[in-house]
Structure 1
């Protein structure tokens, strides 16, 4: 850091049962004279405690779409097989249930919801699979009702349990209103983590993202052949969650207000609206945690005239809290200060932290990918082509190989070398582009390798020669 440079990085460490948390802040502390916003990157790393043990119980509910459209292309058979495999993947003593979703929600196992969740063992797994294999496709799709029913079922789990839901759907949420879904999500918020999967071509990526971003989960596209592997992977990943609820704590100087908090790795989600007042702190839920690296972009707003020129100010204290077995929130990483300084209108400003600039460019890439998917959905091919070209250029500039490959897989070049969407691109492929727009590469675990030059744009081919891409892995 050069003399007078307020761009700072600070790190603090602490523990919660089973995990050691590290919180790192990268602050763009040099503010222009007329600036009205201050930004910071907050990186949270959780590593297993060496020799540590945890006895946090797991509660898992598998939610099956059994609507009539599942009868097509053998999807219901593939789903029965996948959910049975997921049940087999549950460790002994896991609390679990299976819910069938149509235009209503009903318990598959245990058959009587008032008795709560079952406990995984040889006999209960066999009984659950027996009932799963008897399911058939009928009715409509009302995902909010499935989630609300699941929330009630999970109430029977021990208070300290990690609660996780694995859900798939092959269709759009056509049998309840958006307001009904919104009410259900409000009821479910911070009660469990939900990972959702879109099966086939007819689901809506915007609905899945809305659900998983509200419930701290991930959304991905799958086909019938990969559903078994995907669901069993989700169940195994849920077994690594050991802290049911973690919160980012913010104590703001009176001149600053929270403008936004957005998770940016491994998957984007706007967390701004979830803030909870806790005395003089704001608590923002970050979901359940196992060993993981996540990154957030924090923005504060202020009125420029309220900040004295040239004076270092602690705009915010940033800390991390974990919910204990008694329901209290205890600090699990020491507070870090977000220090800023307002410059005169004559001062040259140091460059912003490079990673903040990359984050902003990656966000723009996601917007372009969603713009492409949305334009294709409404039949506006001219805009879809433009957004595709913009997204591909951004992905190449960011050296984001996974998203370059994904975008190339839906693209061709015309006789003039202009990049266009393939004429035969499917709706399912474009829904995948929309979903993958929210994913970013995992944080590096060591020093970054130097990059001598950005890669040359890759040639884009079409048809059977197009390189397939599935996007960046989440987790």
Structure 2
């Protein structure tokens, strides 16, 4: 059975009149097992492949190989389906027209699915919302599923439905399954695909070259199969009168969960975390309290990890009011680190958006700040990616110049990786 532990990192001392308490809570899972085999319900996987006309022969042939590689990684007994996406969504496998839209993996169904994938043809437009809605219906057709995960591949913009239609489709499936999204080539929109991934508790990344698809798909599916805890909830209790300012996942990626709160009871909110493998994740919790007198103490937050309604780990965020400046001005390294990482992600995205809009001054300022933050937080991957977009004059002050010629794939890679963080070394 999976085991969870919680550790809290914070400076609990507040000055006279101080109100805001920040803590980093590290949740670690061990013994997660494999998807669908922990006794908490069965697992389902859907592979969604863009088969629109823009895929062309080269990308589509690579996508066929990638889908077959992903199918090879799905554990026997897992329910699965394959969807082909154009301006509409088509169930490529299994050949069902009513009832259950998924089948369980075994040698025969794996072979049949791979044969169906080989028959993909490149044609039509792109309407990702329809792909998501079909995936939702397929998952719903198997009531015993506890773990629901999809991989979505696209190569182009969502031309065949309006932004409002995509927004509506994303809202309709949010909370119903998780989805990791990948874009192949450079003709898709990072912000558009990131909307899907963030809403569905997944990841987004670029696959610059078609020949890389199979390796990426196989790894994504192996990772999904290692998530033996189907679903978990982060719970944050705060005392009467306190305000939960935000709840963010800050490692391995930055994801703001604040607006995804559901009420557990009047003082406790629940936040979705999705499925877990053997891993650690860090969460930044910020609470605003009413100030207390010097010397008083208060529990600011009780942070719990619950699976199936059962609390498996707990960490306490505390507050103590003091007139000792040596205590109250001390900066907690974990809080400082992840505050910088969150600002780094926003600076990269804002800088690239300004660059795309032709605002060179704004882009230079934002990307310069990103360079500075990447250095301060030790995010070497971000620094390496930034160097492909800007020439760095002074890394400590964030003095940069925009490169005149930038490979679009490098720019998109910087964008997709903007929310990836480095961890604090304890």
Q: TM-score, normalised by structure 1?
A: 0.81
SS of 1:371's partner is: helix
Residue pair 2:29, 2:279 contacting (<8 A) in 1 also: yes
**Alpha carbons of structure 1 residues 37 and 122: separation in structure 2 relative to 1, 3 Å:** same
Give the drift of 1:81.
1.5
Name the CA distance, whole Å, in 1 between partners of 2:324 and 2:167. Answer: 46
SS of 1:288's partner is: strand
Give the drift of 1:299.
1.1
Is 2:83 the counterpart of 1:96?
no
Alignment of 1:80-91 (within 5 A): 80-91=64-75
SS of 1:341's partner is: strand
Is 2:202 the counterpart of 1:202?
no
Alignment of 1:153-172 (within 5 A): 153-157=138-142, 159-172=144-157
Residue pair 2:248, 2:256 contacting (<8 A) in 1 also: yes
Name the CA distance, whole Å, in 2 between partners of 1:174 and 1:208. Answer: 13
Match of 2:263 in 1: 277
Name the CA distance, whole Å, in 2 between partners of 1:436 and 1:70. Answer: 24
Deviations 1:103-127 (A, max 9, x none): 2211111122533211112221222
Match of 1:41 in 2: 24
Give the drift of 1:344.
5.9
Give the drift of 1:160.
4.8
Q: TM-score, normalised by structure 2?
A: 0.90
- Which stretch shifts more, 240-249 or 109-118? 109-118
Alignment of 1:51-70 (within 5 A): 54-55=38-39, 57-70=42-55
**Alpha carbons of structure 1 residues 412 and 318: separation in structure 2 relative to 1, 3 Å:** closer
Stretches of structure 2 lacking an aligned partner (at least 5 in a row):
none
**Alpha carbons of structure 1 residues 231 and 163: separation in structure 2 relative to 1, 3 Å:** same
Give the drift of 1:232.
0.8
Is 2:311 the counterpart of 1:331?
yes
Match of 2:215 in 1: 229
Q: 1:351 aligns with which of 330, 350, 358?
A: 330
SS of 1:54's partner is: coil
Q: 2:63 aligns with which of 73, 79, 85?
A: 79
Q: 1:294 aligns with which of 281, 296, 299?
A: 281
**Alpha carbons of structure 1 residues 160 and 149: separation in structure 2 relative to 1, 3 Å:** closer
Is 2:386 the counterpart of 1:407?
yes
Name the CA distance, whole Å, in 2 between partners of 1:391 and 1:418. Answer: 10
Name the CA distance, whole Å, in 2 between partners of 1:32 and 1:204. Answer: 46
Q: 1:111 aligns with which of 75, 95, 106?
A: 95
Name the CA distance, whole Å, in 2 between partners of 1:163 and 1:441. Answer: 28
Q: 1:245 aligns with which of 225, 228, 231?
A: 231
Between 1 and 2, higher relative CO (CA 8 Å, sep ≥ 6) is seen in: 2
Name the CA distance, whole Å, in 2 between partners of 1:378 and 1:345. Answer: 49
Residue pair 1:23, 1:45 contacting (<8 A) in 2 also: yes
Give the drift of 1:79.
1.0
Give the drift of 1:189.
2.2
Stretches of structure 1 lacking an aligned partner (at least 5 in a row):
1-17, 324-328, 449-475
Residue pair 1:40, 1:298 contacting (<8 A) in 2 also: yes
Deviations 1:160-217 (A, max 9, x none): 5321101111122232233332332233222222111111112122122222121111
Residue pair 2:388, 2:406 contacting (<8 A) in 1 also: no
Match of 2:354 in 1: 375
Is 2:405 the counterpart of 1:420?
no
Name the CA distance, whole Å, in 1 between partners of 2:131 and 2:233. Answer: 27
Residue pair 1:293, 1:443 contacting (<8 A) in 2 also: no
Give the drift of 1:419.
3.3
Residue pair 1:373, 1:431 contacting (<8 A) in 2 also: no
Q: 2:9 aligns with which of 22, 26, 31?
A: 26
Deviations 1:225-262 (A, max 9, x none): 11110011111111111111111112221121221111
